[in-house]
């Protein structure tokens, strides 16, 4: 877009093919047909198609195949459970994908339903959806801007753009193109709010071509899979391919030995059911769901199940400043006052009100709070000094004055930009005495201004005078002092940032505020100390992607950013391999929230942000993110635990059957016994491992950057599987020679007890998991019933065992604990998170 600030009104109108009397109705209809309605367009997919697509994912296909196999071998219960898991996962996925449409609906609701437009030289109300480029629109205080506009004429027009640009304070717009310093002073975005004044502008963009429309386009893009989804998918594919290959090999070997083909086929199929980790998604879902419930109790609402784990893996949090790190309310942080009369100026030269709710410009609200804390109430002072006139603030004057009458005297109360107000002052009041303003005094006051400005405070000067004349109100004023304002940081954020740094998580602040303001807040919070680590949106735009990616890891603060730049920052960090969490609350944050590994919205934010995000913080508390990170890390560690438990059992079962086939031994387990081992592996024991309490120092470790299975972790799994196979085959071989009638029962029970002891290899060192104890006792009891109950003996092909048999079984299966003893000696157990 050309620099509109360099044009006059007529040139701007010519550019957008309009005129001051507006478009004709006929021309408006033509443009409506050409550009379409001023609405956000949704890319809809039919609900049925969305739902069916959930079953096309690779893990879901594996589950369906496993269910069919289980049904074929007669395990109706297992088949039914697997089908239920498939259906539940499909429903959850469908709901998650539908959220983009919900976000779109929220965006549409934000658009003003009506607009005041000039057509054929007359003002009229029309539905905002019928606005077209070139329309002349009138906006007033309290309005929601119906389309992107370029201001042609205005008076005291102040716009709240926080939901679009992230700017923490309302932005003053130029009263006409000639007085604009840059194009930004003239542009008003759709869905921003008019805080004060009025304006007339020409529509420069509607619908999907507006700034909000571009955001809507981005949030409808297909979501990328989370890191955990990618890991689980990769793991499932690898294990499934390996397991199925082994099953085919077992089938071939047993067939070559002359065993009945049907029996051999059932054994291979049963092994496939046990070997393919179809229980992994079920245990994963349960673990994440329980973590989600725990987080909800602590004000972190998870909208996407897998986001629970992802936050625990993140190593960068990109956070907005306003309303997230700060309170989103201007307050006087510092003052330099010479007289008590300064509080009268703060109160009376003010159009804001504070009752049950503060209404008005945030700067004026801050001044009212400041004076009220000192005992000055607006309603009381207005009775003593009734206002008779106001000289409003505008961009050229940079000051505001109100005139009040008390008795026969008039009182002028003025506030505004320090350099402007000081020039209007001839005196200053100190300790109740009015003195002439000398050059030395001015130098001292300018030093105070500079000192406050260096702290990124918004400095405002206060002055007054008492007169009997009804003219020259803003001349020969008496200077009263300065106030410095800023949106203060949340108290709890300081500790939260310290914990994040301790946990190896970088904090990156992204804001629409001025560079100095951003630096001051970031420095106060401990995000940075080096000013060179700040990048402005303008500087970012001048960089190529390659240049930006070379420095993105060093930048801790971004100032004066636009929505598309936030998205670019997230993309650059992800390209560098970071798992990025993005916090935000405005419409402008939606693209970055969607693109980030996990989007974290504030509960007080816009519905668009919340519907786009993966997690919502009900209390807007940055400290809640730290709790979520801890819970996410705990969940990831528990996922590793039950994956280790399940895979070591998988490998043990495969090696036991494969080795027996190679050694020309009868198969140590019957098909139904293999399925029982599968139930134990996928059932209560694995689920209980997903409930292990967090390790005490889990927040003192760096985030995990590796896969679920690191090389050391995989070595342990293989080692455990080999021990299970060797122990099972040795006791099986011994019983085949000495007590052949018990051989299968002993081998089967030994392998089950290997799993029970292996739980202790996989659990954390923290006590307190009562569910694991219950699961262990229940598994032991069920195995005893299978061995001794006559009905179960017929189903499982078992025989009763003697005490000596049990002693032998326990001694052999407990050898799996050697793994944990060796692991303790080799490296500190506290490094579990980083392995």
Specify the DSSP class assigned to residue 207.
G
Helix (H, G, I), strand (E, B) or coil at 350: coil
Task: Check 143, 320, 361, 620 and give the catalytic one.
Answer: 320
Specify the DSSP class assigned to residue 487.
-
pLDDT at 70: 61
With a cut of 60, say whether residue 78 has pLDDT above it: no
CA distances (Å), origin 37, targets 21, 190, 212, 484: 22, 14, 15, 46
Give mean pLDDT, residues 491-514: 87
With a cut of 70, say whether residue 102 has pLDDT above it: no
pLDDT at 100: 40
Contact 459, 482 (CB under 8 A): yes
Fold of 310-327+490-620: Rossmann fold (3.40.50)
Structure tokens at 455: 């702290």
The backbone torsions φ and ψ at residue 476, rounded to the nearest 5 degrees and listed phi first, read 55, 45
d(CA 346, CA 343): 5
d(CA 200, CA 18): 13
CA distances (Å), origin 425, targets 414, 469, 723: 10, 17, 90
Specify the DSSP class assigned to residue 222.
P
Residue spans per domain, the chain: 4-40+111-219, 47-109, 228-290+631-834, 310-327+490-620, 333-486
Query: Could you give the angle at the alpha carbon of 352 between the alpha carbons of 350 and 354, nearest 5°?
Result: 125
Query: Known catalytic residue: 143?
Result: no
Count H helices and E strands in the chain, helices first. 32, 25
With a cut of 80, say whether residue 805 has pLDDT above it: yes
Specify the DSSP class assigned to residue 481.
E
333-486 placed in CATH 3.40.50.720: no
Query: Could you give the angle at the alpha carbon of 34 between the alpha carbons of 29 and 36, nearest 5°?
Result: 85
d(CA 283, CA 232): 12
- Confidence tier at 75 by pLDDT (50, 70, 90): low
Residues shown for the chain:
835
With a cut of 90, say whether residue 240 has pLDDT above it: no
Q: Are strands 534-536 and 557-559 parallel, antiparallel or unpaired?
A: parallel
With a cut of 50, say whether residue 136 has pLDDT above it: yes
pLDDT at 270: 57
Give mean pLDDT, residues 549-578: 89
Domains 4-40+111-219 and 333-486 share a fold: no
Q: Which CATH code fits 228-290+631-834?
A: 1.20.1110.10
Structure tokens at 662: 């190679």
SS3 content of the chain, % helix, strand, coil (to 5): 55, 15, 25
With a cut of 70, say whether residue 46 has pLDDT above it: no
Contact 201, 137 (CB under 8 A): yes
> Between 410 and 223, whose confidence is greater?
410
With a cut of 80, say whether residue 368 has pLDDT above it: yes
d(CA 517, CA 505): 23
pLDDT at 827: 42
Helices (H), 503-606: 515-525, 537-541, 545-551, 563-575, 590-595
With a cut of 70, say whether residue 31 has pLDDT above it: yes
d(CA 86, CA 279): 11
The backbone torsions φ and ψ at residue 334, rounded to the nearest 5 degrees and listed phi first, read -155, 145
Structure tokens at 710: 């690191």
Query: Could you give the angle at the alpha carbon of 513 between the alpha carbons of 511 and 519, nearest 5°?
Result: 85
Give mean pLDDT, residues 94-100: 52
Contact 787, 695 (CB under 8 A): no
Q: Which CATH code fits 4-40+111-219?
A: 2.70.150.10
Mean pLDDT for the chain overall: 82
Kindly report the pTM of this predicted structure.
0.63
Contact 161, 560 (CB under 8 A): no
With a cut of 50, say whether residue 128 has pLDDT above it: yes
d(CA 22, CA 27): 10
User: Lowest mean pLDDT: which of 191-200, 572-581, 607-616?
Assistant: 607-616
The pLDDT tens digits for 279-327 are 566 666 667 767 777 787 788 887 766 676 677 788 899 988 877 788 8
Give mean pLDDT, residues 236-249: 73
Give mean pLDDT, residues 763-783: 89
- Confidence tier at 252 by pLDDT (50, 70, 90): confident
HSE-up of residue 579 (Cα within 13 Å, Cβ side): 23
Helix (H, G, I), strand (E, B) or coil at 602: strand
d(CA 198, CA 544): 40
């Amino acid at each position: 877009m050309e620099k509109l600030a360099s044009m006059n009104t007529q040139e701007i109108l010519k550019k957008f093919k309009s005129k001051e009397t507006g478009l004709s109705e006929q021309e408006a209809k033509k443009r409506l047909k050409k550009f379409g309605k001023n609405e956000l367009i949704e890319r809809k997919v039919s609900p049925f198609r969305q739902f069916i697509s959930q079953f096309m994912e690779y893990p879901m296909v594996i589950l369906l195949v496993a269910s069919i196999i289980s049904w074929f071998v007669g395990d109706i219960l297992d088949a039914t459970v697997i089908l239920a898991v498939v259906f539940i996962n499909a429903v959850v996925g469908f709901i998650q994908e539908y959220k983009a449409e919900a976000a779109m609906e929220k965006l549409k609701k934000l658009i003003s339903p009506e607009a005041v437009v000039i057509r054929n030289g007359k003002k009229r109300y029309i539905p905002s959806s019928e606005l077209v480029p070139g329309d002349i629109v009138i906006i007033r205080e309290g309005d929601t801007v119906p389309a992107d506009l370029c201001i042609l004429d205005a008076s005291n027009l102040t716009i709240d753009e926080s939901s679009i640009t992230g700017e923490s304070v309302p932005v003053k717009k130029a009263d006409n193109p000639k007085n604009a310093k840059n194009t930004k002073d003239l542009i008003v975005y759709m869905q921003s709010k008019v805080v004060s004044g009025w304006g007339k502008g020409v529509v420069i963009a509607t619908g999907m071509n507006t700034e909000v429309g571009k955001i809507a386009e981005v949030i409808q893009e297909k979501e990328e899979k989370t890191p955990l989804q990618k890991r689980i998918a990769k793991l499932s594919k690898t294990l499934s391919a390996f397991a199925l290959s082994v099953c085919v090999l077992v089938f071939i070997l047993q067939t070559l030995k002359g065993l009945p083909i049907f029996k051999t086929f059932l054994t291979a199929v049963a092994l496939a059911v046990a070997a393919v980790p179809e229980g992994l998604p079920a245990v994963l879902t349960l673990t994440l769901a329980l973590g989600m419930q725990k987080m909800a109790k602590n004000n972190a609402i998870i909208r996407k199940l897998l986001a629970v784990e992802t936050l625990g893996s993140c190593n960068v949090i990109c956070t907005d400043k306003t309303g997230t790190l700060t309170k989103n309310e201007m307050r006087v942080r510092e003052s330099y006052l010479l007289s008590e009369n300064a509080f009268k100026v703060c109160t009376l030269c003010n159009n804001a009100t504070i009752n049950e709710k503060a209404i008005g410009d945030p700067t004026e609200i801050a001044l009212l709070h400041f004076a009220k804390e000192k005992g000055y109430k607006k309603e009381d002072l207005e009775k003593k000094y009734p206002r008779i006139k106001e000289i409003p603030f505008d961009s050229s004057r940079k000051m505001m004055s109100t005139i009040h009458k008390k008795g026969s005297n008039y009182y002028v109360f003025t506030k505004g930009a320090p350099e402007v107000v000081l020039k209007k002052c001839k005196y200053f009041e100190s300790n109740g005495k009015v003195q002439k303003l000398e050059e030395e005094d001015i130098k001292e006051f300018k030093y105070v201004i500079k000192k406050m400005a260096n702290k990124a405070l918004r400095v405002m000067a206060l002055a007054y005078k008492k007169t009997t004349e009804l003219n020259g109100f803003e001349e020969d004023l008496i200077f009263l002092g300065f106030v410095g304002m800023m949106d203060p940081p949340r108290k709890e954020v300081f500790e939260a940032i310290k914990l994040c740094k301790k946990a190896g998580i970088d904090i990156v602040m992204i804001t629409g505020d001025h560079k100095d303001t951003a630096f001051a807040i970031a420095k106060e919070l401990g995000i940075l100390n080096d000013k060179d680590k700040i990048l402005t949106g303008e500087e970012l735009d001048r960089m190529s992607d390659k240049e930006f990616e070379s420095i993105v890891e060093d930048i801790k603060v971004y100032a004066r950013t636009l929505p598309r730049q936030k998205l670019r920052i997230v993309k650059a960090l992800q390209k560098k391999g970071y798992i990025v969490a993005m916090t935000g609350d405005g419409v402008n944050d939606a693209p970055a929230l969607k693109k980030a590994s996990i989007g974290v919205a504030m509960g007080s934010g816009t519905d668009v942000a919340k519907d786009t995000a993966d997690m919502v913080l009900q209390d807007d508390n940055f400290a809640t993110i730290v709790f979520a990170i801890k819970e996410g890390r705990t969940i990831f560690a528990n996922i590793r635990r039950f994956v280790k438990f399940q895979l070591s059992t998988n490998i043990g079962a495969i090696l036991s059957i494969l080795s027996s086939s190679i050694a020309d031994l009868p198969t140590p387990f019957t098909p139904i016994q293999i399925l029982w081992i599968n139930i134990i592996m996928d059932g209560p024991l694995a689920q209980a491992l997903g409930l292990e309490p967090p390790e005490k120092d889990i927040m003192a470790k760096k985030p995990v950057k590796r896969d679920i299975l690191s090389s050391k972790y995989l070595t342990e799994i293989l080692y455990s599987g080999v021990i299970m196979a060797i122990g099972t085959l040795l006791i099986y071989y011994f019983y085949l020679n000495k007590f052949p009638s018990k051989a299968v029962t002993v081998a089967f029970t030994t392998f089950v007890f290997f799993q029970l002891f292996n739980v202790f290899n996989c659990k954390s060192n923290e006590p307190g998991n009562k569910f694991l104890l219950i699961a262990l006792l229940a598994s032991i009891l069920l195995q005893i019933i299978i061995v001794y109950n006559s009905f179960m003996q017929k189903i499982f092909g078992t025989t009763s065992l003697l005490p000596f048999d049990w002693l032998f079984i326990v001694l052999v299966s407990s050898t799996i604990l050697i793994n944990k003893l060796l692991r303790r000696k080799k490296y500190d157990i506290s490094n579990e998170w980083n392995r």
